[in-house]
Chains A and B, each alone.
Chain A
Amino acid sequence: MASQDDPGIPFGFRHNQESFRLLELSPALLAALESENPLTITIKSAPVTSSASTPSHAVLCTTDETFQLRQVHSSNSVFLIRPSQHNGSTEEVYQSPGLCTIASPKVTLELHRVAISSVSHLKKLIPIFHAPEDGDGDSEMTSWPTGFEKQSRIEIFADVPTCEEECRRGWTEIVAFELDVEDLWQTIEYDGYPRPLVDALLATLAPEGQPTQGKWASVDKSKCVPWLGALILEAQQGANPERFVSDFLKEWTDSLPEAWRASVSLDCITGHYVLSGSTIRFNGGGMDATSATPLSGANANKAPPSSRRWHEKFRNAKK
């Protein structure tokens, strides 16, 4: 018998067993992992809530794909083995290189590609920003929602059990927005503007009743649009006080986030300007944003205010 001649490979059991998991990979996932620029994969799950009747499943996410993780138990014993010099035997025949089991994973994780919408998860995590009521034209949140602890988009995405691309898609679908004050500060300090200026501006432009301290802030369109228009007008009054209305409107419009541009109208800065023919100049009055006629409109504040135009606003403010 061959087995009698062949001493074989000594096989032992390592006392200090390690903990490993086995994860089945799809050929595509494997190729992506082994490529030059390996893919980042993460395991995510929805936060466990005591009220949830359905168990939350862990998912494995690449940038653009979501896989459900399924634990598969095997009735067989599975061992991870690796070469070992120390097989614990005193017999000479066993002193040759051997193998030992170092772990026995009880379950294998299988991946099942799924198409989960992030929308329902996002809706649970993001407060609804209420459109201002028509009538008084004043924009404010009817009540500041409580119970929404996650404040930044990154924190929220971490709690949504889908891949990042699906999070972004859902985010766009429900027209979610975020203004991260920390980001803003970083940009502003980089540009050399003092932080108290930002605090002051946010205090001026935030919707009524909304806290301006903290990680999160929003800017009220009905305050920001007239405030900026009057500011631009005031800023130009030095060297060239008269300018064409069309030029002024263009600068004003260009300084605003795209979604707010439709709100630009001379009507909302009534009292701040004097028209003469096709030119416009600042009337010399005090810059008072709150005295500007606030905009009305049901969809004010629905659009995400983009923070990248802030530079221009502050540049103007410095003049």
Chain B
Amino acid sequence: MPSVPIHLATKHEGSFTRPANPLPQLLQTPSGLALLELQGTINLPPVDPMDTSAELPDASSQDTPIGRLVFPEYSPVNPPENTAWMKRVYLYVGRHQRLTGEIKKLPNPTAVIRRKECTQGKAKAPEEVEELEIVEIVRWKILFSQRPEPVGTE
């Protein structure tokens, strides 16, 4: 088999659009990618394109809302040495469930790898040599290791 080279993606990669990153500074990466891990799975309603397009005001919107992520102890004005906020993260799933988690340092920095995109649009010869690129190196993850607990809707 041919050997597959892995490149470090150039820093000024234009493929990611960059909305403001709402994550705490520590979890922000140049590409915006972060890792989130939870025990169990998130069950999503089946995607029906006809149905969702009627619901969504913006046709380009392609996200299904899951819930929201809350860092209750985090404040951007706190000094970076203050790591107490890392002990508690909430993920509200839907309206009735809440996961409690924390920020964990990964035992090893983890590279996020994908197939290298062709510069010439999407046209790709089938025999083209595959290349991989490291788009980000992530050092932290948001880990939810506990079961969800019910919360009231009020």
Residue of A nearest to B154 (CB): A4
For the complex, what is the distance from the CA of A89 to the CA of B52, rounded to whole Å? 11
Distance between A79 CB and nearest chain B CB, rounded to angstroms:
5
Is the pair A13, B22 in contact by a Cβ cutoff of 8 Å?
Answer: no
Judge whether A218 is part of the interface by a CB distance below 8 angstroms: no
Q: A3-B90, A6-B70, A90-B57 are in contact. Are A45 and B37 (CB under 8 A)?
A: no
Q: A79-B35, A80-B112, A101-B36 are in contact. Are A10 and B2 (CB under 8 A)?
A: no
Is the pair A42, B37 in contact by a Cβ cutoff of 8 Å?
Answer: no
Judge whether A174 is part of the interface by a CB distance below 8 angstroms: no
- B-binding residues in A (CB < 8 A): 2-4, 6-16, 18-27, 30, 33-34, 38, 40-48, 60-61, 74-90, 94, 96-101, 108, 158-159
- The 4 closest A-B CB pairs, nearest first, are A8-B68, A12-B63, A8-B70, A88-B63
Distance between B46 CB and nearest chain A CB, rounded to angstroms:
11
Mark interface residues in B44-67 (1 if CB within 8 Å of A CB, else 0). Answer: 100100001001111011111111
Is the pair A9, B3 in contact by a Cβ cutoff of 8 Å?
Answer: no
Is the pair B68, A44 in contact by a Cβ cutoff of 8 Å?
Answer: no
Residue of B nearest to A100 (CB): B63
Q: Which of B16, B64, B108, B137 contacts A82 (CB 8 A)?
A: B16
Distance between B131 CB and nearest chain A CB, rounded to angstroms:
10
The residues of A that contact B36 with a CB separation of less than 8 Å are 78-81, 101
Q: A14-B63, A25-B110, A61-B3 are in contact. Are A19 and B115 (CB under 8 A)?
A: yes
